[in-house]
Structure 1
Amino acid sequence: MIEDALETYSADRIGERDYALYSSGGRIIPSFTSPTFGLRKRSSSPLAWFSKAPLLERVGAEGQPPVIALVPDVTPGMCWAFAGSEGTLGISLARRVLVSKITMEHTSPSISHDQSISAPRDVTVWGIGEEDSILPAPIPPSDRHLLLSTFTYDVLASKMIQQFPISREAEQLNIPIAIVQMQIHSNHGKKDYTCLYRVRVHGNEWTLEDELQSQN
């Protein structure tokens, strides 16, 4: 039992394949994603004045690109931030998948220096079946969006890795998903920005055999 537990922990701590993982082929879709918060021009710096080039000032620990939400690093500051409490993140999955659940993770409050209030709270997850739907980027909800899940991330829970199943209605439709768009509606109290540390998408890969069966 101990060996099994250690094997699960080494397999990204939950032992489930993540189709959003960057190193496995998951990618950010910029046109589906809110602008990154955290970098701003600083024109008042004496160094900037002498060099005739404005510097970029990092605001707090933020300023990471959105792809940081697809990598297994949740140390404090390794998050993607967007302004305010509402934003979207578009993910092109590594494979077309019959999505079964979404995993969200925030850094532990015990080491994050009171950054837990920046964590997402109320979230809606949409799926799109075909990659050619990227252009033009649709705004959810549209006729191309399938509602996968609506959930609340609890930053006060005992575990920071929290899993949320897709709805029974979405599961019964049995539609393979190529793109996931997360729509974050609120956070836990931070007014300036929201930090998203990690998102994972799980399910069963849509195979050629599945495709042939669906056409019959």
Structure 2
Amino acid sequence: MAGIGLSFERWSAVPATRLLNRRDREPFSSLGRRRARLSIFLSGATVDAERTSQSYGGKSCWLSPLFSTAKPPETLLQADISPGNCWAFRGSEGDVVIRLPQKIRPSAFTMWHISTAVSPSGEVSSAPREFIVLGVDEDEGETLLGFFFHDMDGEISQTFHVQLWPVLIRPRKAFGHIKFGVQSNWGHVKHSCIYRLEMHGHL
């Protein structure tokens, strides 16, 4: 099921650059339990296909046995982050717009990607490197929430806090859509991939 993290106030005490203490050697089920203690999950998030980059893979282009069939962008809303179960898009730049079941005031975002330790190829150059996040209002357009850097050698889940508000001024604005814009990857020339995205905030 798709998941949206609605954070408790404890998130506000975590520095923007802090990564959650998760290690590749921990079972994925253990990671899920740890996350459950931090956030409340709601089902119902979907991907706005019209504003999302086209998936890469499928029978028309060769990637690897892991990508024999193109995964839909909804893959990044799933809990399964086993190797190959990610959403891939062509090149090093791409967007995904997530439609939330209800508006939230976002406070942080978590991006998941496998490590080199579990990658069948032994490398993760398709992982995002630089990306931006925007809140999308159907009437007022997009609001930049921050520029972020994903560390390829860091934890498999990395949490980034909202940097910009018209931002950091209360009352914070609520959004029904969140846009993730990948601007570069770690060197893969054909495609980039995202394993999982989570949003944290308040109603």
Query: Which TM-score band (shorter chain)?
Result: 0.7 to 0.9
Partner residue of 1:82? Answer: 89
Say yes or no: does 1:160 pair with 2:160: no
Of residues 104, 107, 110 in structure 2, which corresponds to 1:103? 110
Contact 1:79 1:197 in 2 (8 A): yes
What's the CA shift for 1:29?
Answer: 0.3
Partner residue of 1:178? Answer: 176
Partner residue of 1:59? Answer: 63
**Structure 1 pair 100–39 and aligned structure 2 pair: CA distance change class (3 A):** same
| One-letter amino acid of the structure 2 residue matched with residue 151 of structure 1 | F
Partner residue of 1:210? Answer: none
C-alpha distance in structure 1 between counterparts of 2:193 and 2:107, whole Å: 24
Partner residue of 2:135? Answer: 127
Partner residue of 1:147? Answer: 144
Q: Which runs of structure 1 show a deviation greater than 2 angstroms over 4 or more consecutive aligned residues?
A: 6-9, 11-15, 168-171
Q: For this pair of structures, how many residues does the alignment match?
A: 169
Secondary structure of the corresponding residue to residue 199 of structure 1 = strand
Partner residue of 1:200? Answer: 198
Partner residue of 1:35? Answer: 54
| One-letter amino acid of the structure 2 residue matched with residue 176 of structure 1 | A
What's the CA shift for 1:202?
Answer: 0.4
Secondary structure of the corresponding residue to residue 69 of structure 1 = helix
C-alpha distance in structure 1 between counterparts of 2:37 and 2:129, whole Å: 22
C-alpha distance in structure 2 between counterparts of 1:183 and 1:14, whole Å: 29
What's the CA shift for 1:7?
Answer: 8.7
What's the CA shift for 1:151?
Answer: 0.4
C-alpha distance in structure 2 between counterparts of 1:8 and 1:154, whole Å: 19
C-alpha distance in structure 1 between counterparts of 2:115 and 2:198, whole Å: 17
What's the CA shift for 1:149?
Answer: 1.8
Identical positions, percent? 28
Secondary structure of the corresponding residue to residue 186 of structure 1 = strand
Judging by fraction of residues, say which structure has more strand: 2
**Structure 1 pair 185–18 and aligned structure 2 pair: CA distance change class (3 A):** farther
Unaligned runs of 5+ residues in structure 2 are 1-28
Query: C-alpha root-mean-square deviation of aligned residues, in Å?
Result: 2.2
Secondary structure of the corresponding residue to residue 184 of structure 2 = coil
C-alpha distance in structure 2 between counterparts of 1:8 and 1:84, whole Å: 30
What's the CA shift for 1:58?
Answer: 5.7
| One-letter amino acid of the structure 1 residue matched with residue 85 of structure 2 | M
What's the CA shift for 1:34?
Answer: 0.3
**Structure 1 pair 13–155 and aligned structure 2 pair: CA distance change class (3 A):** farther
Say yes or no: does 1:17 pair with 2:40: yes
Judging by fraction of residues, say which structure has more helix: 1
Of residues 101, 105, 116 in structure 1, which corresponds to 2:124? 116
Secondary structure of the corresponding residue to residue 168 of structure 2 = helix
